[in-house]
Amino acid sequence: MTTPKTILVVEDEAAIASFVTLYLTKGGYVVKTVATGTAALNAIAAEVPALIILDLNLPDLDGIEICRRIRKGSDVPILMLTARDEDVDKIIGLEVGADDYLTKPFNPRELVARVKSILRRSSMDRRRDEGDEISHGDLTINAGRREVMVGDREIQLAPKEFELLWELLDHRGLVLTRDQLLERVWGYTFAGDTRTVDVHVRQIRRKLEEASPIVTVWGVGYKVAQDRTSAPAA
């Protein structure tokens, strides 16, 4: 038996916190719960959990602010909970670096499935070689250092933006559908919700500007062209 992983649940609604705890405990996890953002930051400072389930609407700090603060010091996986569908764009569009989200009300089994796949995914990431590096034109991305360079300039990507870019570069010349990208980067498919992929691609393009190698294949998905001709600037 491996040591059970600890999950920190940050949720002020006691009923939700307790059923989430129940299902995660049944799923084999050790669960700690806190009801405020301040308590969450203190708990994380004392001990970084394997994963954080973070409610967007908390009585003190808002979930996005907490996420941002956690990301300054840690890549710990974060699953956000939101009460409204409109918040989703806020979560995935604001570079807060959450790994996934669920809209309330949600099925607790779905939550446990998401937690499992995020944890599986993040342990796979860690196994990647320090030296794994892909170059494409001016762009170089290094998996071990999780570093993206355009020439001499380092570009900061959120964890999922990095993974998405890596996946596309690693399959140069092939078109990956949005569903394939969801499965490879997020570790599951959630039927029909391809907005996540599109929002992340938009962020990558905005940050990399001219150096973005991602091509939209209308009606299908995205790809990176086999060879970016390092043609002299016209």
Query: Which residues contribute to the site for Ca ion (CB under 5 A)?
Result: 12, 55, 57
State the minimum distance, in angstroms, from the CB of residue 18 to Ca ion.
Answer: 14
CB of 29 to Ca ion, least distance (A): 21
What is d(CA 17, CA 27) in angstroms, rounded to the nearest whole number? 15
**Measured from the CB atom, is 55 or 99 closer to Ca ion?**
55
Q: How far is the CB of 140 from Ca ion (least distance, A)?
A: 42
**3 state SS for the chain:** CCCCCEEEEECCCHHHHHHHHHHHHHCCCEEEEECCHHHHHHHHHHCCCCEEEEECCCCCCCHHHHHHHHHHHCCCCEEEEECCCCHHHHHHHCCCCCCEEEECCCCHHHHHHHHHHHHHHHHHHHHCCCCCEEEECCEEEECCCCEEEECCEEECCCHHHHHHHHHHHHCCCCEEEHHHHHHHHHCCCCCCCCHHHHHHHHHHHHHHHHHCCEEEECCCEEEECCCCCCCCCC
Q: CB nearer to Ca ion: give 57 or 140.
A: 57
Query: Which C-beta is closer to Ca ion: that of 85 or that of 130?
Result: 85
Cα–chain center distance at 36: 22
User: Given the complex with Ca ion, which of 56 and 197 has the nearer CB atom?
Assistant: 56
**Shortest separation between residue 96's beta carbon and Ca ion, angstroms:** 17
Beta carbon of residue 133, minimum distance to Ca ion (angstroms, whole number): 42
Tokens of 121: 């995914």
Nearer to Ca ion, 33 or 203 (CB): 33
- Nearest CB to Ca ion, comparing residues 16 and 143: 16
